[in-house]
Amino acid sequence: MRATAATAAPRPSPGAFSLVDGLVLASVLIFIALMLLVPLGAVAAGAFAKGLQPFLSAIAEPDAQAAIGLTLFTAALAVPFNAAFGIVAAWAIAKHGFPGKSVLIALIDLPFSVSPVVAGLAYVLVFGLQGWFGSWLVDHDMKVIFAAPGIVLATIFVTFPFVARQLIPLMQAQGTDEEEAAVTLGASGLKTFWRVTAPNVRWGLLYGVLLCNARAMGEFGAVSVVSGHIRGVTDTMPLHVEILYNEYDFTGAFSVAALLCLLAVVTLALKAVLEAFQPEAVRAV
């Protein structure tokens, strides 16, 4: 009863920066430095350890060019496919009710829980020479495993949840009022999607495409199983880095790895731009 406002212990304001806050922030920065910045710095140092010319030579080497081309080709096919699938799946799940919706959501999440190596092995068992469709593919002179089609299929499998999982919560948060109003005014389902739904999710779609593309270019496990490691033919950039490192060509390995890191930095920059222009549309998902 004797305590007054003058004698009561002062409470820190909500925006005050305490010692505990400083320790937590320092721990986070130390963790980021040790787990991200130092390894990335080591890659950059290894790539340019002998100067710029060896780095450029390693990138211009024919096998490296083939790996870069295959990586970009795979991403160019997998990302649009997953974008189309993600839009359709998210629209069906968020805007419509149907039996088995929870099963569909679980199937979309499946690549997050299945090892990429297992996914690659599954494609070998289906499309390999001794697989379910192996004889049919041989009879029709078609090759999937140990060829570019297998690499594209494996990449699609491991990356197809990214766009869908980015759009589903965004569409659910927006509700169905605008779509119902458009249908009431006489718009068809397709026109409702293009005129109402698509414009509302365009930033979330771009964000999901960026994440999908980053994973597609960096995928290793599934691609390693189905590629056959044919140098200059079925090696993507991550696989080429492994080959060069195992051959003790550290400059070449670090150079290609540095190029992969550069692509990741570009992706992060584009991600930051999207968040800056449309923070609510991107961060809410």
pLDDT tens readout for residues 177-226: 777 787 777 777 777 777 777 788 888 888 889 889 989 998 998 999 99
Is 118 in contact with 110 (CB distance < 8 Å)? no
What's the mean per-residue pLDDT of the chain?
Answer: 85
The number of angstroms, rounded, from the C-alpha of 76 to the middle of its chain's C-alpha atoms is 13
Are residues 58 and 255 in contact, defined by beta-carbon separation less than 8 angstroms? yes
Rounded distance, CA 111 to CA 116, Å? 8
Contacts of 226 (CB under 8 A, 6+ apart): 120, 123, 124, 145, 146, 150, 151, 153, 154
Using alpha carbons, list the distances in angstroms from residue 232 to 147, 216, 228, 235. 11, 19, 11, 6
Q: Are 223 and 151 in contact (CB under 8 A)?
A: yes
Tokens of 6: 């003058």
Q: Which residue in 91, 97, 275 sits closest to 197, CA to CA?
A: 91
Confidence (pLDDT) at 16: 62
Angle at 35 between CA 267 and CA 224, to 5 degrees: 65
Dump pLDDT digits (tens) for 32-81.
Answer: 889 888 888 888 888 888 888 989 999 999 999 999 999 999 999 999 99
What pLDDT score was predicted for residue 154? 94
Q: Within 10 Å of residue 152's Cβ, how many Cβ atoms?
A: 22
What pLDDT shows up at residue 13? 56
CB atoms within 10 A of CB 90: 26
Q: What confidence category does residue 280 fall into, taking pLDDT thresholds of 50, 70 and 90? A: low
271 vs 163 pLDDT, higher one: 163
**pLDDT mean over 20-37:** 88
Least confident of 77-91, 168-182, 220-234, 246-260: 168-182
- What 3-state DSSP class applies to 220? coil
Q: Which two tokens stand for residue 177?
A: 């009022």
CB 236 within 8 A of CB 70: yes
Question: Cα 148 from chain centroid?
Answer: 20
pLDDT for the residue 27: 92
Q: How many CB atoms lie within 10 A of CB 210?
A: 23
pLDDT of residue 120: 92
Which residue, 128, 209, 116, is CA-closest to 154?
116
Top pLDDT among 272 and 16 is at: 272
DSSP letter at 147 equals: S
Q: Is the pLDDT of residue 278 over 70?
A: no
Given a contact cutoff of 8 angstroms between Cβ atoms, the answer to whether 154 and 268 are in contact is no
Report pLDDT for 153. 94
pLDDT at 22 over 60: yes
Could you tell me the pLDDT band of residue 238, with boundaries at 50, 70 and 90?
very high
d(CA 266, CA 212): 14
Q: What is the mean pLDDT of residues 158-163?
A: 92
pLDDT of residue 159: 93
Distance CA 111, CA 145 (A): 20
Give the largest CA-CA distance in the chain. Answer: 95
